[in-house]
Amino acid sequence: MLRIKILRYIPEKNEKYFEEYIIPKPMKVIDAIEYINARFDANISIRYYCKVGKCKSCFVLVNKKPVLACKKIVEKDCTIEPIGNPIKDFVHV
Ligand code: FES
């Protein structure tokens, strides 16, 4: 079991806050977000296209380090944040 902290940004409320989730096993960041959305109905927004490290659309910060969400495997408790100022969660214009 891994504890994941995610920085949310909800533009309608102009509010940033952390949410914590538990995922059952190590997995890629993008898969962890999809798991959390499916399991907890979290509605976390992230934009990605290729899921194989080519389009570079899925950069996020994991423990303050920039990584591709489709490549980085979460193997221990961590914090996931957007890079820069998103328009919602992890989505940029
Ligand atoms: S989805 Fe294309 S690089 Fe991650």
Query: pLDDT (tens digit, 9 = 90+) per residue, 3-40?
Result: 999 999 989 989 999 999 999 999 999 999 999 999 99
CATH number of the domain residue 43 falls in: 3.10.20.30
Are 90 and 81 contacting, i.e. CB atoms less than 8 angstroms apart? no
Strand intervals (E) in 11-53: 15-23, 27-28
Is the beta carbon of 68 within 6 A of some atom in ligand 1? yes
Q: What is the pTM of this model?
A: 0.94
The reply to whether 90 falls in a domain is no
CA 58 to ligand 1: nearest atom: 4
Are 30 and 50 contacting, i.e. CB atoms less than 8 angstroms apart? no
Is the beta carbon of 90 within 6 A of some atom in ligand 1? no
Is the beta carbon of 50 within 6 A of some atom in ligand 1? yes
The reply to whether 88 falls in a domain is no
Range of the domain at 65: 2-81
Is the beta carbon of 10 within 6 A of some atom in ligand 1? no
The total of structural domains in the chain comes to: 1
According to the model, what pLDDT value does residue 60 have? 97
Are 46 and 58 contacting, i.e. CB atoms less than 8 angstroms apart? yes
Kindly report the average pLDDT of the chain as a whole number.
96
The token pair that represents 23 in the structure block: 């995922």
**Number of other CB atoms surrounding residue 24 within 10 Å:** 9
Q: What percent of the chain has pLDDT over 90?
A: 94
Strand-pairing partners, residue 78, are: 4
Are 68 and 56 contacting, i.e. CB atoms less than 8 angstroms apart? yes
The reply to whether 91 falls in a domain is no
